[in-house]
Amino acid sequence: MTYMTSLLQKINNREATVGIIGLGYVGLPLALTVSEAGYRNVIGFDVDLGKIQQLRDNLSYIKHIDLQRIRNANDKGFQATTDFALIANTDVVILCLPTPLSKHHEPDLHFIRDTLQTCKPYLHQDQLISLESTTYPGTTEEEIVPLVEELGLTPGQDIFVVYSPEREDPGNQEFPTHKIPKVLGGITNACAQAGEAFYGSIVERVVTVSSTKAAEMTKLLENIHRAVNIGLVNEMKMVADKMGINIHEVIDAAATKPFGFTKYTPGPGLGGHCIPIDPYYLTWKAKEYNINTRFIELSGEINRGMPAWVVGKLMDALNDQGKALKGSKILILGIAYKKDIDDARESPAIKIMEILRSKGADVAYSDPHIPVFPKMRDHQFDLQSVELTVENIEGFDAVVLATGHGAFDLGVVGRAALLVDCVNSTLGASYSKISA
């Protein structure tokens, strides 16, 4: 029996042991999906012992994940651990790791590289290794292939290496993990075949492309498409504002065209771990080929400038009321990067808070999904969420609605002395506001 035949047999019988490394917003939903697909041996790896303990106690640190899914997975044998030596017991290894940017907007692959070195002693023949982290084209070939070759393993013969980018949309109930088509590229055709067999057993559709590079580029295109178009509508918002035109009315009207137009809405900037970061992975790699990605970089410049634009609108509105920003009490409504989730990574609301603090404002926030300001590498606020009551909101000089959580009571929000609405959540309300 060949290594390929042995691996496929384990996958087809759901007897493969599947290891998911990184139990964050991508890895945890994936691990639960694998368990729900009928795999009895699923191991989740993470260096955060707190996460591991919560999972063992049938608890979730990600708000939109139903606790019953964790209980069911644990009942079926799901194992959460910090012991990476258990990689030796796996047949499938999936890396769901962060790929941040350095201070100079260059790719930072240290999570991938460090994890691969940790796993290296436990990799073996008859394994499928899949990288899901968003990264630049060539990463799988440059980082994983040399490592397995150092072990005397040959991709496509005795070990199988693929790239299959995550497409998780936290909080989106319409598209859970198993309903989102999975793009896949293999180092060889045999690698792709092994990847198709595994992912085809847990999701409804697998889309195989010609190489890992093509799969890596696909993920970047998806996110760059959004970043560029959001940059466009944000720029249009600033132009429309100067002209006294309601940009949301314009967008809604344009969206009635049944072809050739895709609706994007402006906001206070870009948030999340993908859209604000991923375009720079391509711009960095493109320089290796002497290509300057001016269009992508321009959209990034516009989106990064939106928090400052919002603060400018707030300052002008306070001035109209005879108040200075310095010393004013400002409440930020919503610090998650999008509505109805508890993820504040790269949130423009936090950038707004930092600008306000630097200008002397007294800043507070209210977010029903984030009761305590999260620990972050680049942002520090010793704050807890303010309860959204009429008494509390009337105590602030201005309120900035940065994230349109469905839980916000717009009747209470409307009692603000000054409301700066960044997301058009209060369109049509009977009280006055400043759109930003």
Q: Active-site positions?
A: 274
Q: How far apart are CA 307 and CA 315, in angstroms?
A: 12
Q: Which one-letter DSSP state was computed for residue 385?
A: P
3-state secondary structure of 58: coil
DSSP string, 220-286: HHHHHHHHHHHHHHHHHHHHHHHHT--HHHHHHHHTTSSSS-------S---SSSTTTHHHHHHHHH
- Which pair of structure tokens corresponds to residue 3? 């290594």
Closest by Cα among 35, 4, 5, 6 to 18? 35
Sort strands 206-208 and 182-186 into parallel, antiparallel or unpaired.
parallel
Q: How many CA atoms lie within 13 A of 342 on its CB side?
A: 16
Give the helix ranges, DSSP H, for 261-396. 278-287, 294-304, 306-320, 348-358, 390-393
- Which pair of structure tokens corresponds to residue 313? 């609108």
Closest by Cα among 66, 60, 24 to 45? 24
Closest by Cα among 328, 339, 218, 320 to 271? 339
Q: How far apart are CA 54 and CA 52, in angstroms?
A: 6
The secondary element (H helix, E strand) that includes residue 199 is helix 189-200
Q: How far apart are CA 43 and CA 34, in angstroms?
A: 10
